[in-house]
Chains A and B, each alone.
Chain A
Amino acid sequence: MKRSSLSKKDRRNLIRIIVALVLFFAIFITDKCITLGSVFSGPFAWVFPFALYLAVYLLIGYDVLWRAIRNIAHGQVFDENFLMCIATLGAFALAIYRGVTGQPIEGFDEACAVLLFYQVGEWFQSYATGRSRKSIASLMDIRPDYANVLRGEEPERVDPTEVEAGELILVNPGEKVPLDGIVERGASTLDTKALTGESLPREVNLGSEVVSGSVNLTSQLWVRVTRPFYDSTVSKILELVESASEQKSKAEHFITKFAKYYTPIVVGVAALLAVVPPLIDSDWSTWIYRALSFLVVSCPCALVISIPLSFFAGIGAASRYGILIKGSNYLEKFNSANTFVFDKTGTLTKGNFAVAKIVPEGKEQEVLRLAAIAEHGSSHPIAKSILQKYAKTPEGGYTLTNLAGAGVKAEKEGSVILCGNQKLMQDNGIAVSPMEGVGTVVYVARNGQFIGSLLIVDEIKPESREVVSALNKMGAKTVMLTGDNEAIASSVAKEIGLTGYKAGLLPQNKVEKVEKMLAAKGKKDVLCFVGDGINDAPVLMRSDVGIAMGGVGSDAAIEASDIVLMKDDLRGIPLAKRIAKKTMVIVMENIIFSIAIKVAILILTAVGFANMWLAVFGDVGVAVIAILNAMRVNGKYEK
C-alpha cells in the first residue's frame, strides 16, 4: 500500500485513528494493571478514568458528535452518527451512574472503544470505495484532453469538443487519438488496449479508420475527423461506463428496501427493550445497556455498500478485458443466461471467404497456382481468398478475359487456363469430377484438361467451436440464425457444435424468430442474442441480453446492446459469464452473511449473551469482511 494512494482526508483520519488507538490502549492497559478507578479514593474516584477515556472519545469522535447534532436539527433521527452517539454517550452515562452509586467502576473503556472501532470501520469503507473508484477512473484514462487541429499553417491545440467533422487533425506519437477519423497521411501503430483489452498494437496507414481513445505509438498521423466529439467512440464508451451503475439490479433494490426498514425496526426494538422488561424486573441498567448495544448494530451500511461495490467491481473487471456491461441488472441477468442465439455471418464466421479445400489430393499447389494466375486481376472476394491462400505473386504475362457469370480465361503462348464454375467447364466441353461441399466451388482446367477444384467457404472463427462448447458445458442452449440454405447451415452448426440452428432467414425474419423464442421460453430462462451490431440492432434490443461484437467503431451496436465486446473475440462471452457468476456468488454471500450475523448478534444481545464489543463487530467487522469479499470480484480471470 503506497502512502500516496490515500486521499488527503483518508490520510488525516488515519493519523487521527492511529493516535487515538495508541492512547486508548495505553490507558486501557494501565487501567487493567493498576485500575485507574482506584488511583483516587472517595465518591468521585470514577472521574479520573472517565476524564481520560472521554479525552480519547472526543479526539476520535468530535466529528461524529457534531454531525449528529446537526442532523437532529434537520430531523434525521435514524442517522447513523446520531445512533452511534446515543449508544456511546448512553454507555458513558451508565458507567457514570455505576460510579456515582458506588458500584465497581467499569464501562468507560467500552463506550470509548465502540466509537473508536466505528471510526476504524468508516475509514476502511472510505479507503475501499476510494480504491474501486480509482480502478474505474483508470478506465476513464481514455478521455483525450486536447486535439491538434490544422486550421492554418501551424497545428492549433484545442479542446476535442471544438473540432468539427471534416477537419484535419495531427496526432503525434505518444498522444491519444482525440476523435474518430480516417488516416489521410502517415502510417503508425495504435495501442487500443484501453478500449478493447487487446494487447497487440494495431497497424494503421492511409485510409485506415482510427478510433478515438487509442494511443498513437510510433509516428505522426494526419487524420480527417469523421464525427464530432459527442458522437465519437470515446464519448459513447465513457457515457456508458459512467451510467453503468444507474441500472440497478434486483439485489440492489432488495438491499435499499431492506435498509429502509431495518434501521427503524432495530431502533424501535431497542426502545422497547429499554423500557418494557425493566418495568417487570426493574433492572434498568442491564436493559438499557442491551438497548444501547442494539443501536450499535442498527446501521445497515455493510450491506448497503458491499452489494453495489461487488457489482461495480464486476463491471470494472469485465471492462479490463474489453467487455462493457451496461448495468448491474444485466450482469445479474447474464449470470442466469441459458439460451444463446448467434447471428452467423460476422459473429460465428469471419464474414469473409477463404479456401477450405482443394482437390485432388497431391495436386493442391498446382491447382492453387493456376487459379491464382487466372484470378489475380479480380477484386471479387472469392478471387481474393484464392490469392490470400496462394500467398505468393502469381506468374504474370497472361492475358485475362473475364467471362461474366462463369469465370476467367487466362492465355499465354498457347497455354489456356480456365477457372470458374461448372457451367464454364461444360461450355468448353471439359469433364469434371463434381465437388461435394457447402460453399462455392471453383473448377480449374488447363488446355482442355480438368486439373482440380477449390471449395471456398465463409471461414468459421477459430474460437467459435471452443466458445460454443464452453457454453454448452455450462448447460446453455446455443442456436444459430442464418440466411444461408439448410445444407450450409446444418454443416456449419455441426462443425461448431451448436445445439440448434434456423436456416433461410431474411433479416426481418430474425426478429420474428427471436420473438417466438422469447415467447416460448420459461419465466426464469434468459435469452441472449449475439450479433455484430450490423443490421441486427432490433434483435439486440428485443432479446433479454443483447451482446454486440466488435463494438469499436460501431455506435449502433453500442447503443442497441446491453453487453459490448469491444474486441471482436467470442471468448469474451464465457469470460463475461464467469465474471457474472463470481459477482453474483459474492453478492449472495454478502447478503446472507451480513444479515445472518446482524440478526444473530441482535438476538444474543437481547438475551444478554453478547456485549457491546460484539455489537461493534456486528457493525464494523461485518462491513469490513463484506467489503473485502466484494473486492475479490475484481481479481484476475483466465481469458
Chain B
Amino acid sequence: MKKVFQLEDLDCANCAARMERAIGKVEGVTAVSVNFLTQKLSVEADEAEFDAVMEKVVKAAKRAVPDCTIVR
C-alpha cells in the first residue's frame, strides 16, 4: 500500500535526500520518495503493518531532519 503525506518545514533539498535515505533504511518500507518541491512524502509498505512501519518512519525522519514534521 502506498500513502502520501504532506511535509512541513522541509527547508533544503539536501535534507530531503537525507530524509529519503533514512526512511529507506526503515524495516518494512518497500519504497519511499521525498519530494522537496511538492513537500510530499510517499511511503510504500505492507498494508497489514503500515501503521507500525509509519511509526518507525516518523522517528527516522525526525532523527534525519529534526525541523521537518510529517502531517498525518
Interface residues of A (CB under 8 A from B): 67, 70-71, 74-76, 80, 122, 125-126, 129, 132-133, 136, 242-243, 245-246, 256, 259-260, 299-301, 304-305, 308-309, 312
Query: A126 to chain B: which residues have CB within 8 Å?
Result: 11
Cβ–Cβ contact A312 & B14, under 8 A: no
Cβ–Cβ contact A133 & B38, under 8 A: yes
Q: How far is the CB of A140 from chain B (nearest CB, A)?
A: 10
Provide a sorted-by-A list of 17 A–B residue pairs whose CB atoms are within 8 angstroms: A74-B64, A76-B64, A122-B11, A122-B12, A129-B36, A129-B37, A133-B37, A133-B39, A242-B4, A245-B37, A246-B42, A260-B17, A301-B12, A304-B14, A304-B17, A305-B13, A305-B36
Checking B13, B18, B42 against A308 with a beta-carbon cut-off of 8 angstroms, the contacting residue is B13
Query: A75 to chain B: which residues have CB within 8 Å?
Result: 63
Query: B4 to chain A: which residues have CB within 8 Å?
Result: 242
Q: How far is the CB of A103 from chain B (nearest CB, A)?
A: 37
Query: A70 to chain B: which residues have CB within 8 Å?
Result: 66
Q: How far is the CB of B6 from chain A (nearest CB, A)?
A: 11
Checking A74, A245, A300 against B63 with a beta-carbon cut-off of 8 angstroms, the contacting residue is A74
CA distance A126 to B67 in the complex (A): 15
Cβ–Cβ contact B14 & A74, under 8 A: no
Query: A74 to chain B: which residues have CB within 8 Å?
Result: 63-64, 66
With A70-B66, A76-B64, A243-B42 known as contacts, the answer to whether A309 contacts B14 (CB < 8 A) is no
A140, closest chain B residue (CB): B38
Cβ–Cβ contact A246 & B35, under 8 A: yes
Q: How far is the CB of A88 from chain B (nearest CB, A)?
A: 18
Cβ–Cβ contact B17 & A256, under 8 A: yes
Categorize the interface residue count of chain B.
20 to 34
With A67-B66, A76-B64 known as contacts, the answer to whether A304 contacts B13 (CB < 8 A) is yes
With A76-B64, A243-B42 known as contacts, the answer to whether A299 contacts B14 (CB < 8 A) is yes
Q: For residues 14 through 41 of chain B, which have their beta carbon under 8 Å from a beta carbon of chain A?
A: 14, 17-18, 21, 33, 35-40
Query: B35 to chain A: which residues have CB within 8 Å?
Result: 245-246
CA distance A275 to B13 in the complex (A): 32
* CB-CB nearest 8 A-B residue pairs: A305-B13, A304-B13, A246-B33, A304-B14, A312-B37, A74-B63, A256-B17, A245-B35
CA distance A70 to B18 in the complex (A): 16
Query: B33 to chain A: which residues have CB within 8 Å?
Result: 246
CA distance A245 to B39 in the complex (A): 11
Cβ–Cβ contact B37 & A125, under 8 A: no
Query: A122 to chain B: which residues have CB within 8 Å?
Result: 11-12
CA distance A71 to B63 in the complex (A): 8
CA distance A305 to B39 in the complex (A): 13
Query: A67 to chain B: which residues have CB within 8 Å?
Result: 66-67
Q: How far is the CB of B66 from chain A (nearest CB, A)?
A: 5
CA distance A532 to B35 in the complex (A): 31
CA distance A75 to B60 in the complex (A): 12
Query: B17 to chain A: which residues have CB within 8 Å?
Result: 256, 259-260, 304
Cβ–Cβ contact A301 & B38, under 8 A: no
Cβ–Cβ contact B12 & A80, under 8 A: yes
Supply 20 further A-B pairs (C-beta < 8 A) apart from A246-B42, A305-B36.
Answer: A70-B66, A74-B64, A74-B66, A76-B63, A80-B12, A122-B12, A126-B11, A132-B37, A133-B39, A136-B38, A242-B4, A245-B38, A246-B35, A256-B17, A299-B14, A301-B14, A304-B17, A305-B14, A308-B13, A309-B37
